[in-house]
Amino acid sequence: MSEEQLVLERPTADPGAWVDRHGDYLYRYAMFRLRDASAAEDAVQETLLAALKAYDAFAGRGSERTWLVGILKHKIADHFRRVSREVTAGGDDEGEALEQRELFMQTGEWVGHWVAAVHPEKAEILGPHEWHATPEQLAEQGEFWEVFGRCLQPLPARIASAFTMREVDGLTSEEICDVLNIKVNNLWVMLHRARAHLRRCLELNWFGPKEH
């Protein structure tokens, strides 16, 4: 076989076909983590451009999709790293504090306990309620995930990022602390804030006293 034939027979990259074959998949993957259409599109574009450059190293070995998702994961981590440095981006500490305050006794002997526990007549409005749903049921409901995404929106970008890396990707504390350049105690505080806010928001907008 001549040198020329070898060159010709090497598989060549067909990025247009990548978009058709994996575009939806990569976009959904990115969208579930970034919850922003233009950020998700950017991540997919950066992924495919990087893939084009690195194609010779891959050269059709293994699953194309697995390879692309591997690159996308790095692009998403880059995004989290970037937004976590923007200290001022998003977040409303005061609103968050207010929203939690109405749930707990502010004075008296039972200060710091659920208002619902001290005044049972207010439990119906304030909760926490029993959530009658299974993870499998919720996973099926596109509408629930729209509410979920809107609930994460008001959180500071770095807190939402920490939450996503922990809950969606199941990264370890060390991995997350490394991306966000924080200490583990700080991470725990951030995750607590994210969960407290999200829990309250989902209760009000999905699970609340009104039945869905």
Asked whether 55 and 48 are in contact (CB, 8 A), the reply is no
CB of 28 to another protein, least distance (A): 5
Q: Does 58 bind another protein (CB under 8 A)?
A: no
User: What distance in Å separates the CA atoms of residue 151 and residue 147, rounded to the nearest whole number?
Assistant: 6
Both tokens assigned to 33? 């983590």
* 47-58 per-residue burial string, b: 16 or more CB within 10 A, e: under 16: bbeebeeebeeb
Q: Which of residues 67-126 bind another protein (CB under 8 A)?
A: 104, 109-114, 116-117, 123
User: What distance in Å separates the CA atoms of residue 30 and residue 73, rounded to the nearest whole number?
Assistant: 8
Closest CB to another protein among residues 21, 81: 21
Beta strands in 4-159 (DSSP E): none
CB of 173 to another protein, least distance (A): 7
107: left (phi over 0), alpha (psi -120 to 50) or beta: beta
Name the amino acid, one letter, at 192: H
Indicate which single residue of 73, 189, 204, 205 sits in contact with another protein (rule: CB under 8 A). 189
Strand partners, 114: 104
Both tokens assigned to 99? 């929203």
Closest CB to another protein among residues 24, 86: 24
Binding mask 12-51 vs another protein (x if CB under 8 A, - otherwise)? -x-xx-xx---xxxxxxx-xx----x---x--xx--xx--
* Binding residues for another protein (CB under 8 A): 13, 15-16, 18-19, 23-29, 31-32, 37, 41, 44-45, 48-49, 52, 104, 109-114, 116-117, 123, 127-131, 133, 135-136, 138-142, 145, 166-170, 173, 188-189, 191-192, 195-196, 198-199, 202-203
